Amino acid sequence: MTDQAIPLLPYERMAQLWRIVAEKRTLVHCMTNDVVQGITADLLLAAGASPAMVIDEHESADFSAIADALLINVGTLTEERSRSMIKAVQSAKANGKPWVLDPVAAGLLPWRDEKIAYFLSLQPTVIRANASEIMSLAGVGAGGHGVDSTDDSTNALEAAKMLAKRHQCIVAVTGKTDYATDGQKVLAATGDVPMATLAVGTGCSLSALVAAFCAVDDNTLEATVAALMVMKLAAQNAVAQSAGPGSFRVALLDALYSNLQFVRNAS
Amino acid sequence: MTDQAIPLLPYERMAQLWRIVAEKRTLVHCMTNDVVQGITADLLLAAGASPAMVIDEHESADFSAIADALLINVGTLTEERSRSMIKAVQSAKANGKPWVLDPVAAGLLPWRDEKIAYFLSLQPTVIRANASEIMSLAGVGAGGHGVDSTDDSTNALEAAKMLAKRHQCIVAVTGKTDYATDGQKVLAATGDVPMATLAVGTGCSLSALVAAFCAVDDNTLEATVAALMVMKLAAQNAVAQSAGPGSFRVALLDALYSNLQFVRNAS
Amino acid sequence: MTDQAIPLLPYERMAQLWRIVAEKRTLVHCMTNDVVQGITADLLLAAGASPAMVIDEHESADFSAIADALLINVGTLTEERSRSMIKAVQSAKANGKPWVLDPVAAGLLPWRDEKIAYFLSLQPTVIRANASEIMSLAGVGAGGHGVDSTDDSTNALEAAKMLAKRHQCIVAVTGKTDYATDGQKVLAATGDVPMATLAVGTGCSLSALVAAFCAVDDNTLEATVAALMVMKLAAQNAVAQSAGPGSFRVALLDALYSNLQFVRNAS
């Protein structure tokens, strides 16, 4: 029901933004966790963007000034990496580059929650997270099962709006249905693909894709939901050709690549 | 010959344990090497468990208290990671959670061997390693070819028993045939798949799966060999559909996923 | 045009070197970036070599003395990792082992460029890089688009020769056509596969393969171009069976594996 009540972005608007991302080969500075670095890079490349991972604190700020957008993902965070990320965020902000916060496992671990709170104070352009993480950040939930959500994205929608208002940013809460909100308006991307939760890094990579899209349009709400749609569509294409999570991962990259060709040719 | 002399676990016992792992979405705290983080997470997910990598020393102990089991893998070990792992192990023990030691490349490098010796003194629930590593730990061999074994698992069986008695733990030595022993009893998982040695991380991921299984049953010998069987069966299914190590890796995840559906439906 | 003017290595010479790499299971000590560790290991394994990642500064020198060759890749470099890499290089040199430098993103970031300059002063056996990186190192270009090249390999050939003379090493510049040069002679490996730029780590893994080949023959120019050929051929086989970058990555590993069987059987 909720799925149908929430407006979608027109397909052509998604296609328009995607074409720009691919034309510019939007360069995303990914400061992400150790588990998903490969899949994040592969997914950005398949979607026509350009990934680069630069992590030392002597060069993270320099690179965020060069890149088009920045991703901060707190999975496998360390004290040292955290210092370097803060410098990158400050540089991104000083240079007018959008940055996305992916608060992996928010609500479970005190040290991490302190770090996340500090990143929130630096005003991310977008927060992209699962339902349990969003509810925990909004103060209405208690964290998920490790890095996995125990809540439904629809149930987290009010928390997402609250969080967006509080931090004056876009909040994307992903799950069966994906939602993006600026605190007032909400847009949805539909099409549940349970298999996606069995391939590590789909959520983390999606945060990187959101960063890429936010680099090409000032309407960050629409840019965010465009990235969510791109992933939802590719996941639906992929699962139709998959015998399990191994072939799903392969087919997801192929589908992003094919869909981008289609979108380019349709322009 | 040896393969036939060593008893196997009944298939139904393996299935029973696997169903519990998947029902509980057993949460494994993986402190593993940088090379295999993605495949370890993917393999646990395909097998119905839930992986999470938490590495900083400010939160590793907190997370081991939450998780159902802990994996310590010393590949790409650093001084700093080692400190964090020790805290995680102490927390796992204090909270009655099983932990598995994967002593990658034991016997080759003095600094690492010191670290491994210290981890052994913390009494792992299970040691999972290849033949060269087990023989080196038992003091009857000189290490392998880098991270690869130069010995056969059957030749390492006596060393495995010795090691299990000495450390009062389960020892799993994997190779052409996999064995698990508590020092007295031995159980085997059969079915050689040479292709598995060409896909990095199958052994490391198997250690994570052993941790998941040990979280659901006090009979850690049977739980260990059940995990070994799950992997052997999936590897045999996968290789039949593979043109090489690339498609093998994909098919292995798909086979774990399919076999789990079968085991669930058969209950 | 240039492609046809530059001599190729005879296929049989490539096959001869590859057979030795596989027979010896040439052990490559990979000190590489966090993004490509898995694919680097998988690619070396598929090609018959043996990868091992050992990174802490307490053991990197010990392991370089044991391994047959060393790879230094400066992607995701940190201050600490850099110290450990220098020790490994010194050990490789002292023990007569070849080492390959992969100067990821050279020309973009001052701190990294200083590190790369220091590595260059340690006289690598081979430098393997894309056109933008080579031109930047030679002082005739300004770096690429993040980690991707904005120049064509053919345009970088003079820069590659200059660099090879200056550092008395082999320089491999890869792209549409791959070239290896000792500053005088040039050899090419042909067969453009644009899809390869969409699968992260193909270049980084190729540097590891170059290290493996240089361990088995004193003619490091021919050994380098043999590794480039092995990859070009597998990439061409793979792309013919790929629907996109996901299936390309899988097919690339399968093709390396199949081609190695063929080369072995043809001996």
Per-residue pLDDT tens over the stretch A12-43: 999 999 999 999 999 999 999 999 999 999 99
Residue among A53, A59, A67 whose CB faces C111 most closely: A59
Q: Over the stretch C201-247, which tens digit does the pLDDT of each residue have?
A: 999 999 999 999 999 999 999 999 999 999 999 999 999 999 999 99
CA distance B184 to B165: 8
Domains of chain B: 2-265 (3.40.1190.20)
In angstroms, the separation between the Cα of residue B202 and the nearest Cα of chain A is: 14
Q: Over the stretch B104-151, which tens digit does the pLDDT of each residue have?
A: 999 999 999 999 999 999 999 999 999 999 999 999 977 788 888 888
Contacts of A250 in chain B (CB under 8 A): 250
User: Which tops the pLDDT comparison, A104 or C144?
Assistant: A104
- Which residue type, as a one-letter code, is found at position B76? T
Q: Over the stretch C21-55, which tens digit does the pLDDT of each residue have?
A: 999 999 999 999 999 999 999 999 999 999 999 99
> Residue A4: its pLDDT value, please?
55
ipTM above 0.90, yes or no: yes
Contacts of C32 in chain B (CB under 8 A): none
> Residue B126: its pLDDT value, please?
98
8 Å CB contact of A245 and B258: no
Report H helices in A123-201.
131-138, 157-167
In angstroms, the separation between the Cα of residue B48 and the nearest Cα of chain C is: 22
Q: What is the DSSP string of A227-242?
A: HHHHHHHHHHHHHTT-
| Burial state string for A42-59 with b = 16 or more CB within 10 A and e = fewer than 16 | bbbbbbbbbbbbbbbbbb
* In the predicted structure, residue C118 carries a pLDDT above the cut 50: yes
Average pLDDT in the B235-247 region? 97
Q: The tokens of C69 are what? A: 């060759």
Q: Over the stretch A97-122, which tens digit does the pLDDT of each residue have?
A: 999 999 999 999 999 999 999 999 99
Q: Count A/B contacts: CB-CB distance under 8 Å.
A: 100
Q: The tokens of A26 are what? A: 């939007």
Short-list C216, C210, C238, C69, CA closest to C128: C210
In angstroms, the separation between the Cα of residue A103 and the nearest Cα of chain B is: 13
Residue among B36, B38, B146 whose CB faces C67 most closely: B146
Query: Residue A147's closest chain B neighbor by CA?
Result: B52
> Residue C1: its pLDDT value, please?
42
* In the predicted structure, residue A76 carries a pLDDT above the cut 60: yes
Residue among C27, C42, C249 whose CB faces B145 most closely: C27
In angstroms, the separation between the Cα of residue C63 and the nearest Cα of chain B is: 7
Task: Give the rounded percent of residues in chain C with a pLDDT score beyond 90.
Answer: 92
* In the predicted structure, residue B257 carries a pLDDT above the cut 50: yes
- Average confidence score pLDDT of chain A: 96
Tell me which DSSP letter residue C145 carries. Answer: B
* In the predicted structure, residue B234 carries a pLDDT above the cut 80: yes
Q: Which of residues 16-75 of C touch A (CB under 8 A)?
A: 33-36, 38-39, 75
> Residue B1: its pLDDT value, please?
42
Short-list B7, B61, B9, CA closest to B217: B9
Task: Give the rounded percent of residues in chain A with a pLDDT score beyond 90.
Answer: 93
Q: Over the stretch B97-107, which tens digit does the pLDDT of each residue have?
A: 999 999 999 99
* In the predicted structure, residue C3 carries a pLDDT above the cut 60: no
CA distance B215 to B47: 14
> Residue C146: its pLDDT value, please?
84
Q: Count A/C contacts: CB-CB distance under 8 Å.
A: 100
> Residue B143: its pLDDT value, please?
74
> Residue C143: its pLDDT value, please?
74
> Residue C4: its pLDDT value, please?
55
CA distance C47 to C186: 25
Average pLDDT in the A215-231 region? 98
Least confident of A6-20, A131-145, B40-54: A131-145
Q: Over the stretch C157-214, which tens digit does the pLDDT of each residue have?
A: 999 999 999 999 999 999 999 999 999 999 999 999 999 999 999 999 999 999 999 9
* In the predicted structure, residue A1 carries a pLDDT above the cut 60: no
Task: Give the rounded percent of residues in chain C with a pLDDT score beyond 70.
Answer: 99
Test mutation, A33, A34, A79, chain B, max B CBs within 10 A = A34
Residue count of chain A, please give it: 267
